[in-house]
Structure formats: C-alpha cells, structure tokens
Structure 1
Amino acid sequence: MIMKRGAAYVIDFFFGTALFDVYFQIFKHKKAAGEEVVHGPVAILAFIVSYYGYYIVMEYFRGQTIGKKVMRLKVIKSDGSRLTLTDVIKRHLFDLVESVCCVFLAFIVMISNNKGKRIGDFIANTEVVDARNVPAVLPT
C-alpha cells in the first residue's frame, strides 16, 4: 500500500504543480536579465492554494485524486461514512510540514502503524484503501 501511495503522490505532484504553472504563465514577467519570475507572497500563496487545492477538491468530490485513481486507491472515513470538506482539510493540514520540514516524517508514521496512515489521516480519522474494496455509495 505504501508503494502505491508513493506512486500516486508522484502522479499527483505533476498535476498539482501544473496548476501553478498555469498561474505562472499568466502572471510572469521578465527581469532585466531575461529571467521569467513571479514575485512575492502572492506567488507563494498561489502555489499553496493551487497545489493543495487540487488535493482538497479532488478528494472531497471524488474521494480520490488522479494519482489515487490510477493506483486504485481511495480516501475514506475510518468508519466508512462519506468524507466532509472539514475531514479533507484536516487530512491535508500537515502536508506542508510532512513534505517540507520533515521529509521522512510521513513515511515513518506510515510504516509505524498497520493501516499505513499519515498524521493527517489520524487527525481527520481517514484512511487510504484499495478502491476496489469500497462500495459505490458510501453511507452518509
């Protein structure tokens, strides 16, 4: 499961950064040396919103990102009920910490428990499972 989640992450990384690239292409400008840049806190905020927004929107509406769909994974509530927007946001609160500050934190947490949960999964009471084992309609 951890390998499938890793592969899904790599696929999703490209989709998340592609959204920022669209923003970059629209708002870039050239420096004197000809280098194309987008400056300031707006650029950082745009990256965070587009990158993490991709995960939040996809998981809230579909229960899976494109990478998870390709790898046949799905995010569900641990009790089997439907994900709420709050659940998905809670699930991704620690993404930035896990990916920037502590590169191996998510991996260590995932291998330390039998369901392969990340910190965000524990906070939101969610888990990633094989999509083939999830009923088409989740209870509400």
Structure 2
Amino acid sequence: MSVTTNRFELYRVETPEGITITYTPAGLASRSLAAMFDYTVMLVLFVTGLVTIIVSGSVADEDVVGALLALLAFAINWGYYVIFELVWNGQTPGKRLLRLRVIREGGRPVDGAAVVVRNLMRAIDFLPFGYGVGMLTIFVDRYHRRLGDLTAGTVVVREGQLITLSQMLQPMHAHVSPRAPDAPPTPLLPNVERLTPADVALIVEFLQCRDALFGDARVSLAHQFAAVIRRRLSLPPSEGHPEQFLEHVVREYEVAQAMMARQSG
C-alpha cells in the first residue's frame, strides 16, 4: 500500500489492487471535543466508584479507601481508552459521538499493540500540562497526529456518512446543465449521431463520479474523454473546459435521440 496526501491534507491509501481510499484526518477542534466528552464520562465513572465505596461502608480504613480510589483512578485513566478502542474498533464514546475513528497507517484497523502504545504515550502528550505536547504535534503534523499516534503508527480520521442499502440501490444521476431555452430542437453538435449508447454511458459515468476524483486525476481524465469524443465526432482539438464539453455532448445526444424518435414515429 502507498500513502499520499494532497493540499487539503486528505489521507489517501492506495491498495495493491489500484483502489484509492480517502480519509479526512480529524483536526484539533474535533479531537478536543471528543476528549472533553470522554473525560466527562471518565469523571462520572470515578464519582460513581467513589460514591459506591463510601456508601458501601465495607472499608473503614482511610488508607485502604485511598488506595482503592487511586487504583480506581488508574484503572479508569488507562483502561477507558484501551478497552473502548479495542472493543469499538478505534472508537471511544467521544470519538463515536464526533464520528471519529483511530486507524493504523495504511487504513488497517487498529490492533492491541497500537492501542496500548498510543494510549501509554498520553503521559508524554499531556506534558507540560493540558496536552501541551499533544496539541503541538497535532497542529504541526500534516495528518494531525499527536505523539502517541506517531509512535503507534495510527491516524485519527473522520468517518463519512453511513450509506444504507436502499441508498446504494438508487440510481446515480449526473449533473448536466440544461440547454438554453431558445436552443433549436436539432442538435448543436456536429456528427453527434455517431456516438453509441455505450460511449454516452461512459461519459455519464464519469460525470457521476467526477466529484470523488482528485484535482489532477479529474482534469486529466476529463481531457482524455474529451479528446476521444472529439476525434470520434471529427472535431478539431480545443482548449476549452473538457467537462463542459462532455456535458454538452450528453445534452445534444439526447436531443438527437429525441429527434430520431420523432422522425421514426
């Protein structure tokens, strides 16, 4: 797998099969909000344990009570993140609320070793106080990783919106600007009838997926499509916007098909 970034700091993972998976690294603001929520939950757990110990009255010795409270604080402080990130595959309640997830470099799920290492490093990330080291490294790192992430080889990313099966089964629609109201009922593109339904379907597929492509890849692919279609239609090369030309091709092909249907009917 190869990992690259672009000017928008997207985390891209290219699999050996040539499939590119894109993640958005979580920034300082979202990670801080998630941490605040988690620390609130941890405080509630500690207070609950404290009240339980006091109310139960089973332990009368103050030294023993102090030791139990210290043990409880240690267990919550170190166990909270480790247990949740292992059980919830890289998420804590705070991260789940903010739709964040810890993954390993390369897009793989976190494992026990990575979870333990990144959370043990919290002691250093916290220095000198209030996560000073951690916030500094998050701010300067291109993927917003704190020291624990750098050590464990992990990245905290934003999760995309969940897609249901019904949404996946819905047909995709390519956004094509409408024709001008005063356009004639005949095609404005010469030789458009030479195109086959397969040609137009390929153009439409590109127009449907273009927003998911990165800048250079999108421009290059659009220019390639436009050049092929221009040769097919015996049109000279052009320096115009290739995507606008492809939209124009789709519009005029539909006009040509409608005109042919009227003539045959």
Which aligned pairs between 1:99-138 and structure 2 lie closer than 5 A?
99=126, 101-103=128-130, 104-132=132-160
Offset of residue 28 of structure 1:
2.8
Q: Structure 2 stretches of 5 or more lacking a match?
A: 1-26, 58-64, 163-265
- Report what 1:91 is aligned to: 118
- Report what 1:53 is aligned to: 79
Shifted more, 81-90 versus 4-13: the winner is 81-90
Runs of 4+ in 1 over 6 A off after TM superposition: none
Cα RMSD between the aligned structures? Answer: 2.1
Q: Does 1:76 align with 2:116?
A: no
For 2:85, the aligned partner's letter is E
Normalised TM-score (structure 1):
0.80
Count of residue pairs brought into register by the alignment = 126
Which has the bigger relative contact order, CA under 8 A and spacing at least 6?
A: 1
For 2:38, the aligned partner's letter is D
SS at match of 1:75: strand
| Cα distance change, pair 28–101 in 1 and its aligned pair in 2 (3 A) | farther
Q: Point out the structure with max Rg over C-alpha.
A: 2
SS at match of 1:60: helix
SS at match of 2:156: strand
Instruction: Decide whether the 8 Å contact of 1:91 with 1:124 is kept in 2.
Output: yes
Identity %: 25
Offset of residue 49 of structure 1:
1.0
Question: Residue deviations 1:4-58, cap 9 Å, x none?
Answer: 000001011111122222221122379xxxxxxx413x32231121133111111
